[in-house]
Structure 1
Amino acid sequence: MKRGLLLLFLLSLNLFAKFEVITLGNSGGVKAGTTTSYILRDIGSKEYLALDAGSVVNGLEEALKKGNFKDIKVPEDSNYTKLGYIFRESIKGYFLSHAHMDHIAGLVLSSTEDTKKNIYGLPSVIDILEKNIFNWKVWPNFGDSGEGFKLGVYSYKKLEIGKEFKIEGTELYGQVFPLSHSNYESSMLLIRSGEEYFAFFGDTGPDKVEKSQLLNNIWKELGPKLKAGKLKGIIIEVSFPNSTEDKNLFGHLTAKWLMEEMKVLSEYSGGTEKLKNLNIIINHIKPNFLKNVDNEKTVKKEIEALNIYKIKFLYPKQRESMIF
């Protein structure tokens, strides 16, 4: 009887769950195969959207070792391993927040084994892929436009700021908003399933340092959704410890600057009390090679020390699945 009640309790925890997020890579650089990439799905679907692609196949391999994807069965007539099947068939498209190498390397390297999919991004992102990556100089042209013979594996979808679009092959919809990344355009994707939302941020600096209103515009968009209990979670970067001078941030956040931005979010969501309901995955902490210096531990301590709003900060490792 007790075991049955426990099972019912555990199942009830997911009654209001809407999204699954699996971390394929969460590092801010240096080590190949661990840089920023997540996959997200509506909890009732088996089709994923990739959110950046610094690490794709390597991350999927680690996630399989962890025991994820138990509900995905490889058809008996398939010639592919489970890893190959998930990579080729379960990921239905890629959203690229910007075209820096640590956010696209996994996509580029695995493109030779991929199936036809959409790549969603701002025009600035697609332009870089066309001209500087898939151009038959750096890599064959796996796109449907650009230089030379077009292999056509990827269809480029240039997104309009703020205009909702369907993410083909999934139950998801998206809206893109620009971010400032040290005079370079990055972006945030607001993902909707039904009436629930999840926000994925590419690299971004704080508005005060970037001399921008782009984060402010996003908080204005997200605030009412948080107030209404419809914002299930956020993935956002904190790259450096607080000791990093603003001039050396190069379009990134610290714990201090993240909390400054959370204060702005609270102004649009009805007060700081609403922040207690917010789940935030911290991404993109930059590793280093200094003795007795661990940036990851430092950033975590600084975030928790400044967390006067009682936000639920999360630090999933590569291969971990989280339900929101």
Structure 2
Amino acid sequence: MRALALAGLLATAAAPVPAPMAATPGFDVVVLGARGGIEDGNLSSYLVRPQGDARGVTCDAGTLVQGLRVAEAKGAFEDVRVPAGEGLSRVGYVLKHDIKGYLISHPHLDHLSGLIIASPDDSPKPIYALASVNAEIARSYFRPGPWSNFTDRGAEPRLGKYHVEDLKPGMPTPLAGTAMTVTPFPLAHGGMESTAFLIEHGADAMLCFGDTGADAVEHGDKLARVWAAVAERVRAKRLKAIVIEVSFANDRPDDKLFGHLTPRHLLAELRTLEALTGKGSLRGMPIVVAHIKYALGDTQPQRQILSELQAGNDLGVRFVIPEQGQRLRF
């Protein structure tokens, strides 16, 4: 029954695939924030650009300026040349000139606080999100009291620095100032709507997930719909990477996940994707394991989570535990 349901989703939900074209260079991803939860200064944020093109957007913005500083110190922006007379540091130049917009998956602060804090000195650019996400951002943050309204929507006075753009599920949208498009897919995150972003440049694509629970735990089919939409790209080897959360190790009970994944649930979801795309179709694909929650105990869970993922990795994927400031190429 599940196979038939997935086949139906594949027939109805798959977004159109670009026609074959000359090979494109893939994506350049800088990890501005790698963690989830309480590790302020290192929260979910990935700068995504086509390789060879400085113009990009961030997938979430839990950390911005601090993440740019760490990335600059690690050499991730060594190819950035600040024009004479700009009066900006390299960090300032990337923030104000190279980051052309923000994709916000949901309005939790560990995915948004860097954007809010940077807004007084940032440059004008769009905020892209599903309508429910943009509405909550306007209601909770960009309004008198919590913060000045730097957007063109919501409470007066509106300073208008950020143009708020509502994304429509399943509909490709050009990312202004870049050579990329984005197609959003709603996710279930413990009662809140979150988002997966399919980012495309030419024939290449990558998936960047906000927080999400497994379909089996959330009692829905949100992830199945994402897998159906990207299945043809996987078969054609056009999906270059997936950035997806694993917040907790497998010892976390399902009733305490609060809309998050464990290694066991991620592996099950990836097997669902492979069932649509064929045995061995995911072999070698980079899976960037995002949003691992910072722990206040004696040890951090990264090693345990990676061990659990590797132990069940009958798919042949390449799991990557990202670190802040790291530059990844897919």
Please state which band the TM-score falls in when normalised by the shorter chain: over 0.9
1:323 aligns with 2:329: yes
- How do 1:104-143 and structure 2 match up within 5 A? 104-143=112-151
Match of 1:85, SS state, is helix
Q: 2:157 aligns with which of 136, 149, 167?
A: 149
In structure 2, the residue matched to 1:298 is 304
CA–CA separation in structure 2 for the residues paired with 1:234 and 1:17: 16
Q: 2:106 aligns with which of 79, 83, 98?
A: 98
In structure 2, the residue matched to 1:49 is 57
1:172 aligns with 2:180: yes
1:288 aligns with 2:289: no
CA–CA separation in structure 2 for the residues paired with 1:52 and 1:145: 19
Q: How far is 1:20 from its partner?
A: 0.2
TM-score normalized by the length of structure 1: 0.93
Identical aligned pairs, as a percentage?
36
Amino acid at match of 2:144: W
CA–CA separation in structure 2 for the residues paired with 1:142 and 1:204: 28
Q: 1:233 aligns with which of 220, 223, 241?
A: 241
In structure 1, the residue matched to 2:286 is 279
Match of 1:240, SS state, is coil
Considering fraction of residues, name the structure with more strand: 2
- How do 1:121-270 and structure 2 match up within 5 A? 121-270=129-278
Q: How far is 1:243 from its partner?
A: 0.7
Match of 2:149, SS state, is coil
Residues 214 and 266 in structure 2, CA contact (< 8 A), matched pair in contact too: yes
State the number of aligned residues.
Answer: 308
CA–CA separation in structure 1 for the residues paired with 2:37 and 2:219: 25
Amino acid at match of 2:165: K
1:25 aligns with 2:33: yes
CA–CA separation in structure 2 for the residues paired with 1:253 and 1:145: 33
Residues 24 and 204 in structure 2, CA contact (< 8 A), matched pair in contact too: no
TM-score normalized by the length of structure 2: 0.91
Match of 2:97, SS state, is helix
Q: How far is 1:17 from its partner?
A: 3.4
- The farther-off stretch of 218-227 and 204-213 is 218-227
Match of 1:232, SS state, is strand
In structure 2, the residue matched to 1:11 is none
Q: How far is 1:46 from its partner?
A: 1.1
CA–CA separation in structure 1 for the residues paired with 2:73 and 2:177: 26
Residues 39 and 49 in structure 1, CA contact (< 8 A), matched pair in contact too: yes
Deviations, residues 262-285 of structure 1 (Å, cap 9, x unaligned):
1100011122x0110311100011
Residues 25 and 50 in structure 2, CA contact (< 8 A), matched pair in contact too: no
Match of 2:198, SS state, is strand
Amino acid at match of 2:288: I
Q: How far is 1:16 from its partner?
A: 6.0
Q: How far is 1:95 from its partner?
A: 0.2
Gaps of 5+ in 1: 1-14
More relative contact order, 1 or 2 (CA 8 Å, 6+ apart)? 2
CA–CA separation in structure 2 for the residues paired with 1:142 and 1:80: 21
In structure 2, the residue matched to 1:308 is 314
CA–CA separation in structure 2 for the residues paired with 1:18 and 1:53: 22
